[in-house]
Structure 1
Amino acid sequence: MVREHRLDAAALQRLPHRLHRPANRYLSVAMPIISYHDTYKVFSMSRSKSAALSDQVYEGLAGFRLAMRRFLAFSEAALAEAGVTSPQYQALLVVRSTPHRQIRLRDLAEQLLMHHHGAVQLVDRMCSAGLAERIPAEDDKRSVMISLTSKGREVLEALARIHVDGMLENEPLLAESLSRLRQVTELA
């Protein structure tokens, strides 16, 4: 299924309110969250549906996709070498980004766009690998908080450094592709 995601102010207003949650509930930046349950198509109203796209748009999109594919291939190789899966790395990043370095399991599931039972299985594997630990929530004994172990913090630190380097390596192609797309779409 192909989804178009050009989210300008008008497009954001058309989306259901629940999709406007902050990307991280501890951050003030609101980003649209579209899960696999959502089948919304967001179209730009500034372009006629019948207008043909120029070659520059396709070149910009191809360059952007190439930069993303290079980074993702790089990331998968780095994660495999460290013995960590991509969902585990993403979960480590989410936990680390919270103010108290702990997150409720249900909030982790939401951040990772997963069902609760999938997040439980992910955390089980992380705990078995010594990357995370479960802590009973102080304010609600029915809830479980997830935090990183010292091994989890060390693995995350090493992987984050590697990923920053990988992102910076792909920055020129990414920036050029995005700049080309912006120029072409502003002229249209």
Structure 2
Amino acid sequence: MSDDALTKQDFQRLSHFRYQLRCFLRQSEDICREHGLTPLQYQLLLHLLGFEGGEWASVGQLAERLQAKHHGTVALVDRCQQLGLVERRPSRADRRRIEVHLLPRGSELARRIAELHQPELRHLQEEFHLPGWPESS
């Protein structure tokens, strides 16, 4: 056995982390469904609301944030657009590029759901002794 082999404590720590993460995700899934969204739809809205550097994102940027395939993200954007949560707009800078914008209904839902996630986020922060979230400027 090598000196860098994982110990029982390493496995316990990893198990505990995965358990806490799964609890958060399960609770998040429940909150999303209670508000008529799938977890992926909420994540798309959240990424649009919190996207650094702009008020919109491209499908490629959203696919990266979601860690999803491009074609799957296109289908997700389609579903969100049908629900009146987002819209596609041609870029003013490059007409070949399509921007995905959050609509007021999508923003309202994302904000409401994000607020409901705060107690569990605070719990995770305390559980893992994480520093506070960066302050917004």
TM-score, normalized by length of structure 1? 0.62
Question: Structure 1 residues 115 and 60 mapped into 2: Cα distance closer, same or farther (>3 Å)?
Answer: closer
Which amino acid in the other structure matches residue 141 of structure 1? R
1:117: how far off? 1.6
Instruction: State the structure with more CA Rg.
Output: 1
Note the aligned Cα RMSD (angstroms).
2.1
CA distance in 1, matches of 2:44, 2:97: 18
Which amino acid in the other structure matches residue 120 of structure 1? V
Kindly provide the CA deviation profile for residues 48-97 of structure 1, in whole angstroms up to 9, marking residues without a partner as x: 74654333222212221121111111111101101111211211122112
1:148: how far off? 0.6
Question: Structure 1 residues 113 and 150 mapped into 2: Cα distance closer, same or farther (>3 Å)?
Answer: same
2:43 is the counterpart of 1:73? no
Partner of 2:37: 84
Q: Is the 8 A contact 1:104 1:146 kept in 2?
A: yes
CA distance in 2, matches of 1:133, 1:126: 8
CA distance in 2, matches of 1:112, 1:52: 32
Q: How many residues align?
A: 129
1:118: how far off? 1.2
> Which of 111, 114, 118 does residue 157 from structure 1 map onto?
111
Question: Structure 1 residues 162 and 105 mapped into 2: Cα distance closer, same or farther (>3 Å)?
Answer: same
Kindly provide the CA deviation profile for residues 118-176 of structure 1, in whole angstroms up to 9, marking residues without a partner as x: 11110000011111111111122222110111011100111111112211133343349
1:110: how far off? 2.6
**Runs of at least 5 residues in structure 2 that lack an aligned partner in the other structure:** 131-137
**Runs of at least 5 residues in structure 1 that lack an aligned partner in the other structure:** 1-47, 177-188
